């Protein structure tokens, strides 16, 4: 399978080439030249597989240039740190099940893709005799998941941007406590969108990108998206009976549109998904878009700091991949939309009815008060304690539950990562394991920097890997 750019100005790439490229040279994102299709017979054959076995099958549909035995070995290594079930499902009442995506090393859903990405990046770089300097931006969980997946890998250095003062104390400790010469934490004076803009600006400087071997692990990296497709298939197979063709709905807390894009791809591949419900917090640019068809990102001053900080995003990178499909894979229309966006917005309101009718996409917004009430009600009803982002998902999911249609909500993180909000909601102080307590108390390693592309370039130029370690 080959990969093309959403903006039509790049040569087709293999999976391994797209893996290392990150942002396409024309500024677009890599997408499959054609999505693979999965029929009912294949789904039933997959029902008995373990999670690593299923991941090998699903990712293998995308990574066709990697020998299957090598892929299976990497997938097995990626999910070795997880419990045997990897992704458990549990009911919380009201026709809702949680899909447990936070069983990995950093207690967040990003681990499921990042652990695989770490394996496949190392594999690809070894075969090319190359190095990669990963430049990423995080609003909370991506950074720690990437750093824990990539630390100790000789051919990879990580430069992770985060917004100063915008993450939880746990999230900061999980990143900044790592003491690795190839892990560089950079706190930017701004919001997540400023960090993301810097990543795109440096990736768009093709000379700098090539000279310093820059790559990406944000969800602009298609390998992240394809690895996340797996758990939609897994959840459907676990929540349905053998031989049935049951439609399910999924609710996905979303800021950068990567997690729900994976569900969109799964649905386009043939998985029987009735609705994909997008849940936002107060930074509800995506909810506004799916309700109106008008995409109007907000500036840094209008991007609110909320109690679900990983979703404090106003410019969703992965929306471009959806627009590409909405526009009939017409790269010229995508390019025109992003040129229009330079004026502050673009308008697809004439296409808005298709969002739900053709693609099953609907949306809703949750507030701080909603989060607290949802955490409280779930705890009272089931004894479960959910994190604030998952609470956003449950709140919006309740608005779309239909009789006879199971609703699955993607859990995003363990509640321990957001102890202050849990305490506010239910008056409980969550205990940390001795290991996590040590992490919280450990010295932190971070460089503070202005929102300045030149300063960032200078820092990377002085610290980047330049040759293969012998």
pLDDT, mean of residues 257-262: 97
- Reply yes or no on whether the pLDDT at 398 is more than 90: yes
- Reply yes or no on whether the pLDDT at 470 is more than 50: no
What value, to the nearest 5°, has the Cα angle with vertex 274 and ends 218 and 365? Answer: 55
For the chain, the straight-line distance linking the first and the last C-alpha, in angstroms and rounded, comes to 33
Active site residue 110: yes
- Reply yes or no on whether the pLDDT at 223 is more than 60: yes
- The three-state (H, E, C) secondary structure of 283-335, written as one string: CCHHHHHHHHCEECCCCHHHCCCCCCHHHCCCCCCCHHHHHHHHCCCCHHHHH
The active-site residue, picked from 110, 153, 395, 417, is: 110
- Reply yes or no on whether the pLDDT at 260 is more than 60: yes
- Predicted confidence band at 467 (pLDDT cuts at 50, 70, 90)? low
Helix 169-176 / helix 434-441 crossing angle, nearest 10 deg: 80
Give dist(CA 141, CA 101) in Å, integer. Answer: 13
Give dist(CA 409, CA 364) in Å, integer. Answer: 14
What are 93's strand-pairing partners?
96
Q: Give tens-digit pLDDT for 409-433.
A: 999 999 999 999 999 999 999 988 8
Give dist(CA 238, CA 167) in Å, integer. Answer: 34
What is the phi/psi pair of residue 92, to 5°? -125, 10
Helix 222-239 / helix 51-62 crossing angle, nearest 10 deg: 130
pLDDT, mean of residues 230-245: 90
Helix (H) / strand (E) containing 55: helix 51-62
pLDDT, mean of residues 168-178: 92
> Residue 84, SS3?
coil
343 DSSP 8-state letter:
T
- Reply yes or no on whether the pLDDT at 21 is more than 90: no
What is the phi/psi pair of residue 309, to 5°? -65, -25
- Reply yes or no on whether the pLDDT at 285 is more than 60: yes
pLDDT, mean of residues 239-268: 92
- Mean of all residue pLDDT scores within the chain: 94
Q: Which residue has the higher pLDDT, 302 or 23?
A: 302
Residues sharing a CB contact under 8 Å with residue 358, sequence separation 6 or more, in sequence order: none
Please report how many Cα atoms fall inside a 13 Å half-sphere around the Cα of residue 432, on the Cβ side: 14
8 DSSP 8-state letter:
S
pLDDT, mean of residues 73-84: 96
For the chain, give every domain's residue range: 89-107+223-426
CATH architecture of 89-107+223-426: 3-Layer(aba) Sandwich (3.40)
Residue found under tokens 């960090």 = 195
Quote the tokens at residue 105. 């090393």
405 DSSP 8-state letter:
B
Q: What share of the chain is helix, strand, coil (3-state, %, to 5)?
A: 45, 15, 35
- Reply yes or no on whether the pLDDT at 363 is more than 90: yes
- Reply yes or no on whether the pLDDT at 469 is more than 70: no
């Amino acid at each position: 399978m080959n990969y093309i750019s959403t903006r039509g100005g790049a040569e087709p790439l293999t999976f391994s080439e797209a893996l290392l490229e990150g942002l396409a040279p024309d500024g677009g994102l890599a997408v499959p030249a054609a999505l693979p299709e999965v029929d009912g017979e294949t789904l039933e054959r997959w029902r008995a597989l373990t999670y690593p076995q299923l991941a090998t099958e699903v990712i293998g549909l995308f990574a066709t240039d990697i020998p299957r035995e090598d892929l299976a070995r990497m997938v097995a290594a990626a999910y070795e740190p997880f419990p045997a079930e990897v992704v458990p499902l549990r009911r919380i009442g009201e026709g809702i099940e949680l899909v447990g995506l936070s069983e990995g090393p950093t207690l967040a859903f990003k681990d499921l893709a990042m652990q695989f990405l770490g394996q496949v990046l190392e594999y690809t770089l070894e075969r090319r005799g190359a190095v990669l300097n990963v430049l990423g931006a995080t609003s909370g969980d991506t950074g720690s998941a990437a750093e824990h997946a990539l630390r100790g890998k000789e051919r990879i250095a990580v430069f992770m941007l985060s917004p100063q003062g915008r993450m939880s104390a746990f999230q900061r400790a999980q990143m900044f406590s790592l003491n690795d010469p190839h892990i560089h934490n950079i706190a930017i004076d701004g919001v997540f969108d400023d960090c993301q803009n810097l990543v795109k600006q440096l990736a768009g400087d093709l000379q700098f990108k090539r000279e310093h071997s820059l790559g990406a692990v944000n969800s602009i990296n298609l390998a992240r998206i394809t690895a996340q497709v797996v758990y939609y298939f897994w959840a459907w197979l676990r929540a349905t009976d053998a031989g049935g063709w049951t439609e399910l709905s999924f609710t996905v807390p979303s800021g950068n549109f990567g997690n729900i894009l994976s569900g969109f791809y799964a649905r386009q591949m043939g998985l029987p998904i009735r609705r994909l419900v997008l849940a936002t917090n107060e930074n509800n640019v995506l909810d506004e878009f799916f309700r109106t068809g008008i995409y109007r990102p907000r500036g840094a001053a209008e991007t609110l700091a909320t109690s679900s900080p990983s979703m404090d995003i106003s410019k969703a990178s992965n929306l471009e991949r959806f627009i590409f499909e909405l526009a009939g894979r017409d790269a010229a229309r995508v390019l025109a939309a992003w040129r229009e966006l330079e004026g502050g917005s673009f308008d697809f309101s004439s296409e808005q009815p298709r969002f739900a009718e053709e693609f099953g996409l609907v949306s809703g917004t949750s507030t701080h008060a909603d989060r607290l009430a949802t955490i409280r009600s779930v705890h009272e009803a089931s004894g479960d304690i959910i994190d604030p982002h998952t609470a956003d998902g449950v709140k919006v999911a309740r608005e779309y539950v239909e009789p006879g249609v199971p609703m699955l909500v993607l859990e995003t993180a363990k509640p321990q990562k957001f102890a202050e909000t849990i305490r506010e909601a239910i008056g409980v102080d969550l205990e940390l394991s001795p290991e996590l307590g040590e992490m919280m108390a450990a010295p932190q390693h971070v460089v503070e920097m202005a929102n300045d592309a030149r300063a960032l370039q200078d820092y990377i130029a002085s610290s980047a890997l330049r040759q293969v370690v012998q």
